Amino acid sequence: MNTDATIEGGSNARTRWNRPLPRNVEPGSKFSKLTVLARASNDKAGRVRLQCQCHCGEVCIARLSDLRSGHTKSCGCRRKFAAQYRYLTLKRRGGYSALGPSDGGSNVKASTKLVLGCAYCPKVSFLKAATFLKGKRICGCLEETYSSYRNMIQRIDTEKHPEYALYGGRGIKICKEWREDFHTFVSDMGPRKPGTSLDRRDPDGDYCRENCRWATAQMQAQNRRRSKGRVRVGSV
């Protein structure tokens, strides 16, 4: 099943450079993703092996018979890719769900274009599988949400931010899950609603799911009044 499974040796295997290449094979001959560099030592059964360079850059040793039969097609990187992409369909990354390859097939490679559904709006997008897996691309419907997220981080981390003193400067933190991943923030908070901004229920508490909500200016003013009252009560 796995056609890349039989590569032996690897770049450290002993190679014998002085042997002539077999007939019809020369440096530069291509077998799928592999380009022949030189003759390598025969295997234990006396079969011819070649040193090849894979399209990924890796150098490996492969049996000529396996190259000719198509049994060996790459240094093994194709197999790694295949494992990574096999279960891609319906996976979620970056707020997108992969619905399947755009050509309607079932074979997914790094370069396959996928049809993606946004988890937050009805928009359908197309993205290469490799880009999708990186999870960095976000749907246009999350732009506002992302700008709130970035602002939150700047208030906490950037000393030059005009409001730093009120946030990072007085020890307010962002929970680890949010800091590490914008999409955890979105799945906890949902996309930002028009007319709202990110608000902490307890103004002395951190940025985390339990303490945050999207609130209008009015809701935030009420919250400030209430929490001032609470401070007074507590300090009596």
End-to-end CA distance of the chain: 75
Q: Which of residues 58-87 bind Zn ion (CB under 5 A)?
A: 58, 74-75, 77
Nearer to Zn ion, 129 or 172 (CB): 129
Segment interacting with Zn ion, rule: CB under 5 A, options 82-90, 132-140, 196-204, 213-221? 132-140
Question: How many whole angstroms separate alpha carbon 32 and alpha carbon 54?
Answer: 9
Bridge-based pairing of strands 92-93 and 96-101 is: antiparallel
- Work out how close the CB of 141 gets to Zn ion at its nearest, in angstroms, rounded to a whole number: 3
Q: Which of 29/154 has CB closer to Zn ion?
A: 29
Round to whole Å and give the CA distance between 136 and 125: 14
Least Cβ distance, residue 73 to Zn ion (angstroms): 9
Joined tokens for residue 233? 């009560």
Q: How near is the Cβ of 85 to Zn ion at its closest, in Å?
A: 15
The alpha-helical segments, DSSP class H, found in the chain are: 64-69, 77-86, 129-134, 143-157, 176-180, 182-189, 217-235
How many CB atoms neighbour CB 122 within 10 A? 7
* 134/232 Cα distance (integer angstroms): 49
Is 217 a binding residue for Zn ion by CB under 5 A? The answer is no
CB of 15 or CB of 74, closer to Zn ion: 74
The CA angle 13-16-22, to the nearest 5 degrees, is: 110
25, 141, 153, 219: which one binds Zn ion (CB under 5 A): 141
**DSSP letters of 45-112?**
T---EEEEEETTS-EEEEEHHHHHHTS--SSSHHHHHHHHHHT-TT-EETTEEEEEETTS-S---TT-
* Closest CB to Zn ion among residues 146, 164: 146
Closest distance to Zn ion from the beta carbon of 8 (Å): 15
How many chain residues are in contact with Zn ion, going by CB under 5 A? 12
Q: Kindly state whether residue 54 participates in binding Zn ion, applying the rule CB under 5 A.
A: yes
We find the least distance from the C-beta atom of residue 180 to Zn ion, in angstroms, to be 22
CB of 155 to Zn ion, least distance (A): 26
Residue 124 binds Zn ion, judged by CB under 5 A: no
Q: Is residue 118 involved in binding Zn ion (CB under 5 A)? A: yes
For the CB of residue 57, give the shortest distance to Zn ion in the complex, in Å.
Answer: 7
- For Zn ion, the closer of residues 119 and 219 by Cβ is 119
Q: Residue from 6, 16, 27, 56 that binds Zn ion (CB under 5 A)?
A: 56
Binding site for Zn ion (CB under 5 A): 54, 56, 58, 74-75, 77, 118, 120-121, 123, 139, 141
